[in-house]
A and B are shown apart, each in its own frame.
Chain A
Amino acid sequence: MGLPFIAVRGLLGSDILKHRPDLLVQENPFNPSEQVVVAQPLRPDVAVFHALKADRWGNAVTPGRRDDLMMARAARRVVVTAEEIVAEPLSLRDAVDDTFLPALDVDVVVHVPLGAHPCGLGTLYDRDDAHLRVYLEAAKTPQTFQAYLDRYVYNVREQPEYWEQVDHENR
């Protein structure tokens, strides 16, 4: 949205406000008897989306009608990984039941088949429960999580090496 802040209803009396310096309680300037929460904009440095398809101009289609466009616009830099890079330019018509990210809001496109793994992607493929269990177990302590990152992220250079590690785990 690009606004300096927005006012929202609700949240007052919630402990969320004790832990969120970006949410402040203010008087409604148009109705001084009302307290409202004002929220600072969220401005991520990078947002990453995995798309069903993208083109080389940066247009992309992500599965389902979701809030991806809002998130893309909030971020300073947007990376799209895609199952498929199509030759012809994509348009809104290619995203009737999905979400269209226009090239205007996308900075980088990368071709990564099966790139949502271990999560699923729309109706294309399901999540990998076995690997998600490995992840959940690893996420319990900083040490085991570091070992997970080393094995599946830092020490694999190309996709085949990643799948080698995943297949080894699932066996």
Chain B
Amino acid sequence: MRYTPEELMAVTIAREVRDGETVGVGAVSPIPAAGCMLAEQLHAPHITLIILDCAEYYPFPAGSSELHFLAQRGELDLFFLSGIQFDRRGNFNLHVIGDYYAPTVRMAGAYGSAMLYYMAHRVILFRDQHTPRIFVEQVDFVTAAGITPASVYREGGPALLVSPKAILAWDKAAGGWLLDRVQPGSSVEDIKDSTGFDLRVSTTVQPATPPTEHELRVLRTIVRKKLVPSYPEFVREKIMAR
């Protein structure tokens, strides 16, 4: 079956959501929003799903600070973050490329990311491209750190890094990423070539299961309909018609 890279990533993310969890998705994050809605339709009907800027999935009486305080209380199980760079040590960059005071690219910044990366129990990082310029040895700006000393309180941190080529698992003991699964259409060699740091390969590395017909059907019907109000362009361009 044919599918877009975004559909592949949404299905990958859906499979990581565990039933009963409290799951948060930030604003302008249609890929994890689609993944979490899909999980809710398939194996995780009892999740509490919070999606910023999505009225159907917003259980709070007040603004987005509610999600941040939920995480500060240690009650957020799973969150998703993206970035313009990711590095070997689990750091990610949402700020600038180049020098901070004379950047070549200036992004909007972190909002709550630098707290959520520490206070959500698990964070899945995601990026729709996998290139050596994005997966780098050292990020130009550490928006939030993958590794922190014992004096820093942390509920959790990085769990996975998902791209259209690979699923990297966080090795907490070694403090680095491990190639865990190879997405359909890619290979260990391709992924290593597309990564700007020396990527360690898990001894149990295996091909990821391609999206099933059932997963894609639910994504393109029920989930598509729920995504439209918040993400009409994403649905039009990235979710294939049935």
Contacts and interface: CB of A to CB of B under 8 A. Distances in A.
Pairing of A with B: yes
A70 B95 CA distance: 25
B143 A65 contact: no
Contacts of B115: 8-11
Contact of A67 (B64, B144, B150): B64
Contacts of B152: 12-13, 34-35
B63 A14 contact: no
B3 interface: no
Contacts of A14: 110, 114, 142-145
Contact of B118 (A9, A15, A19, A65): A9
A161 to B, nearest CB: 32
Contacts of B142: 13-15
Contact of A9 (B60, B119, B150, B151): B119
22 contacts: A8-B115, A9-B119, A10-B116, A10-B117, A10-B144, A11-B144, A12-B145, A12-B152, A13-B144, A13-B148, A13-B152, A14-B142, A15-B100, A15-B142, A19-B100, A33-B150, A34-B151, A65-B61, A65-B62, A66-B64, A68-B63, A97-B55
Contacts of B147: 13
B234 interface: no
A15 B64 CA distance: 24
A69 B66 CA distance: 13
The secondary structure that dominates the B interface is loop
Give the size range of B's interface with the partner. 20 to 34
B151 A33 contact: yes
Interface string B125-145: 000000000000000011111
Contact of B148 (A12, A36, A67, A97): A12
B58 interface: yes
Could you tell me the dominant secondary structure of chain A's interface residues? mixed
Contacts of B110: 14, 16
Contacts of B62: 65, 67, 69
A10 B63 contact: no
A130 to B, nearest CB: 16
A99 interface: yes
Interface of A: 8-16, 19, 33-36, 65-70, 97, 99
Contact of A13 (B58, B60, B145): B145
B152 to A, nearest CB: 4
Interface string B106-121: 0000100011111100
B72 interface: yes
Interface of B: 55, 58, 60-65, 72, 95, 100, 110, 114-119, 141-145, 147-148, 150-153
A9 B153 contact: yes
Contacts of A70: 63, 65
Nearest to A17: B114
A36 B151 CA distance: 9
A80 to B, nearest CB: 17
Contacts of B60: 65
A19 B114 CA distance: 14
Contacts of B58: 65
Nearest to A28: B153
B98 to A, nearest CB: 13
B151 A10 contact: no
A66 B144 contact: no
